[in-house]
Structure 1
Amino acid sequence: MYKTFSELKKELRKNIQGLKKIKIALLGDTATQFLNIALKGTAIHDGFDFEIFEADFGQISRQILDPTSEYYEFNADYTIIFESSHKLLGQYYKSYDSQTVFADNKITYVEELYKTIQGRTKSRVIYCNFPSINNQVFGNFSNKVESSFVFQQNKLNYLLSAEIAVKNNNFFIADLVSIQNKWGRDFMFSPNIYVNTEMVLSLDALPIVAHHITGIISSLEGKFKKCLILDLDNTTWGGIIGDDGLEKIQIGSFGIGKAFTEFQYWVKALQKRGVILAVCSKNDEDKAKEPFEKHPDMVLRLEDIAVFVANWENKADNIRKIQSILNIGFDSMVFLDDNPFERNIVRENIPEVCVPELPEDPAEYLEYLYSLNLFETASFSENDSERTKQYQVEAQRAVDIESFTNVEDFLKSMNMVSDVQAFNSFSKPRVSQLTQRSNQFNLRTIRYTEQDVEELIKSEDHHTISFTLEDKYGDNGLICVIVLEKKTQETMFINTWLMSCRVLKRGMEDFTLNTIVDTAQKNGYKYIEGEFIPTSKNQMVKDHYERLGFTKQDEKWILNVDEYKTKQVYINNKL
């Protein structure tokens, strides 16, 4: 799945017109020219145009601490700091009098760099952690000697996570340690190349490192995998349920069954993290569901699956059916199937879906999937664990609406209630996450970190509104985010309007506009101004303001508050 460095160089020749441009600052203590190329090539492959400012190596401190530096003139969206383990070892050797607190001193230095950046820019920081070097001064005993380099390096990597990343919303770690654990130190590092060129990453490792770093940026830009679609026979369990029967399929703690059980544990962990699970199987539905319901060794159960499709139709068509229920983009889906024929059918018919080339031996499934880093994320909230239930409820709604002769009767029957509040400390994580995840119903596609949301909460020039939606089927959680901005004494600007696609066609758009107009009236505004900024994903809302009664003036949309007539909805405001 990874392109080679040469293939990434060829990506730079492609036409990048129309790709979203992102400004990246690359600061390193060793040569980063080839990492620069790998990042640009990976970005183009992933649908982005990285404009990269690359400082001369060894200038990290100068670029960040000097307010007049080229780094601040560039004004990067993201700052990648690449400090190498080899330079770290050199710093350690020079700190003879303070080796027992070497990691603590280094953390203080990194915190100073981060706080300086945050005080002067809105750039998010991606910091590369330190792959291990065992200098064998103490051998295995180094883990018991606090002053050893191995001990201090392990402590430093821990503190980067525990003391900086966890506590700072705009600080992210590119986990080079995990890459080395997977691929090996000899794969990552070539002594001859390092001595002669100051490059610490091998040409083979560069694409993998670039993929991981770009994955962080992609997830923050709202482009990531949300859904895992599973084939069943010889993918989720060994054997064919229709031929072998319930007792003879392979799952459990013995033989190849162990590989499928561990695979299911991984899938279950993804589901708990918020990845939507779906089943797409060529099977009779009752047979396909039987292991989920009756097999004692099954880790996955029916309640873990948001959409279950089992029939004898074309799998590409069934994936389209799953997509229509979930209402997410094909490019946010991953399809796993042991059968090369089925994989190719999906690739040819729905090229946006990610279809990994699973190994022939099921024992190798997990290690292969681990290496792909398919489900990168930049956020996690308690709401994620409820996502499967929410999509199951949505599937039930889709079935029930067919029993009504008109939509109005169905909407009335749903008993919908929305909790409308300004952003607060409780909603802050979900608001931030929704801005990062929402691509389709998103008028201006602005992303907010939790730190950004905190600033909006405190701002006197903004009004913030969050909406939940609950009905007789269940609670959808926080599903709509509005940020209103004071433009003039008479005009309020809709800085952000985004909504989960799960709640479309229920009158939520009208309910939201009623609330926006009410906010404008209470604060003395006569006009509301909206704007649509097109992306490749949000074409569904290109006529949003026109449908709601706004009038176009130049490139903006204007609504006269005094002339507005409250729209009829079947959603009640929770008191």
Structure 2
Amino acid sequence: MGGIIGDDGLEKIQIGSLGIGKAFTKIQKWAKELKNRGIILAICSKNNEEIAKNPFVNHNEMVLKLEDISVFVANWNNKADNIRYIQEVLNIGFDSMVFIDDNPAEREIVRQSIPEITVPELPEDPALYLPYLTNLNLFETVSYSKNDNDRTLQYQQEAERRKLISQVTNMDDYLKSLEMYGSISDFRQKDVSRIAQLTQRSNQFNLRTKRYTEDDIIKFMNSKNHLTYSVKLKDKFGDYGLISVIILEKTSSNVFFIDTWIMSCRVLKRDVEYYALNKIVDDLQKLKIDTLQGEYLETAKNSLVADLLEKLTFSKEKNDKIYSLNTNTYKPFKHFIL
């Protein structure tokens, strides 16, 4: 939209079918199409939040609405810092972000502060914005699945969680305030596609980085030598859905080995790993299994879990990569997931 909402007021914003407003309407239609194809939209504005959101809520000719925006940041901080905040919420690389701004000074500040971000140098004439941007082909997506449909809402919910964490005095208070509810089950047919997708896409919280197809997942489901776990989580802001996958393989009469342990980075620092391990050990104890083993296979992207097994009180065996946990002496971890 053209104009400055804080100075011009809602009635003087340039949007619609007349004059220069047509150019901004076309830009918004284009952005809406990108969003519908899985591109994440975020707003980074120097303004009071209530004023900045006003057109998205109250202007009849706005194509984009608040529900289309994954992260909406409006304050008087510099835009480079706000972009860093947006990047943390989205948990994507700066090299996957494009910053579009009609102010040359703001573009230059962002270029200098965060060189990994793509910052198109827009033409002076707003009527040329859309042809220029479409010619750059910055937003070509390789694939888009049904599971990606909920991403905008998920990021909106994550932004609300980020606001909450700034209002509490310590992490325990924050985790309690989230009012988290979890469920753990064996693999179910309705989740096969999502489980396979997690094994294919997860790179950071991935203990061994084994990739599996849907057929592989079905084999694990039907195997007598494997235990399977799918973990779901929700809190007072929304439903994360299926966020962790664990596959155990029976390697001897009293030993199970962690073939796969994957978790979505969206739920890092929520104590999900403690919640899951408590359940796993409880199940193994009921089966009279004495030992749970695991290993960390390093990749270029999974250093996040390099110390996971040690953090979970596994002991490293001598001259080996294998870690072991005695289920008989295991002490359940504290967490705040109900």
Shorter-chain TM-score bucket reads 0.7 to 0.9
TM superposition score normalised by structure 1: 0.52
1:272-328, Cα deviation, whole Å (9 max, x unpaired):
455432211233433322211221111211222232112343322111112233344
Is 1:564 aligned with 2:330?
A: yes
Q: Matches of 2:257 and 2:213 in 1, distance apart? A: 21
RMSD (CA atoms) = 2.8
Is 2:182–2:337's contact at 8 Å kept on the other side of the alignment?
yes
In the alignment, which residue of structure 1 is the partner of 2:279? 515
Is 1:384 aligned with 2:148?
A: yes
TM superposition score normalised by structure 2: 0.85
- Pick closer, same or farther for the CA change 1:434–1:260 going to 2, 3 Å: farther
Alignment of 1:370-449 (within 5 A): 371-377=137-143, 379-381=144-146, 383-449=147-213
Is 2:98–2:117's contact at 8 Å kept on the other side of the alignment?
yes
Is 1:337 aligned with 2:104?
A: no
In the alignment, which residue of structure 2 is the partner of 1:364? 131
Give the counterpart of 1:300 among 56, 64, 71.
Answer: 64
Is 1:422–1:466's contact at 8 Å kept on the other side of the alignment?
yes
Shift of 1:358: 4.9
Amino acid at match of 1:470: K
- Give structure 1 stretches of 5+ with no counterpart: 1-236
Amino acid at match of 1:380: S
Q: Matches of 1:423 and 1:567 in 2, distance apart? A: 24
In the alignment, which residue of structure 2 is the partner of 1:310? 74
1:177-211, Cα deviation, whole Å (9 max, x unpaired):
xxxxxxxxxxxxxxxxxxxxxxxxxxxxxxxxxxx
Is 2:184–2:276's contact at 8 Å kept on the other side of the alignment?
no
Q: Matches of 1:239 and 1:404 in 2, distance apart? A: 37
Corresponding residue pairs, total: 333
- Pick closer, same or farther for the CA change 1:425–1:502 going to 2, 3 Å: same
Q: Matches of 2:7 and 2:169 in 1, distance apart? A: 43
Alignment of 1:58-207 (within 5 A): none
Is 1:502 aligned with 2:281?
A: no
Is 2:39–2:139's contact at 8 Å kept on the other side of the alignment?
no
Q: Matches of 1:285 and 1:485 in 2, distance apart? A: 51
In the alignment, which residue of structure 1 is the partner of 2:235? 471
In the alignment, which residue of structure 2 is the partner of 1:489? 253
- Pick closer, same or farther for the CA change 1:249–1:535 going to 2, 3 Å: farther
Shift of 1:477: 1.2
1:250-287, Cα deviation, whole Å (9 max, x unpaired):
32234553443343234334434554322112334333
SS at match of 2:231: strand
Q: Matches of 1:256 and 1:454 in 2, distance apart? A: 56
In the alignment, which residue of structure 2 is the partner of 1:96? none
Is 2:26–2:130's contact at 8 Å kept on the other side of the alignment?
no
Amino acid at match of 1:395: A
What is the identity percentage for the equivalent residue pairs of Structure 1 and Structure 2? 56
- Pick closer, same or farther for the CA change 1:459–1:238 going to 2, 3 Å: farther
Is 2:49–2:73's contact at 8 Å kept on the other side of the alignment?
yes
Q: Matches of 2:224 and 2:33 in 1, distance apart? A: 41
Is 1:347–1:353's contact at 8 Å kept on the other side of the alignment?
yes
Q: Matches of 1:274 and 1:442 in 2, distance apart? A: 24
Amino acid at match of 1:353: I
- Give structure 2 stretches of 5+ with no counterpart: none
- Pick closer, same or farther for the CA change 1:300–1:401 going to 2, 3 Å: same
Q: Matches of 2:149 and 2:221 in 1, distance apart? A: 26
Is 1:353 aligned with 2:120?
A: no
- Pick closer, same or farther for the CA change 1:332–1:438 going to 2, 3 Å: farther
Amino acid at match of 1:552: K
In the alignment, which residue of structure 1 is the partner of 2:41? 277
- Pick closer, same or farther for the CA change 1:522–1:399 going to 2, 3 Å: same
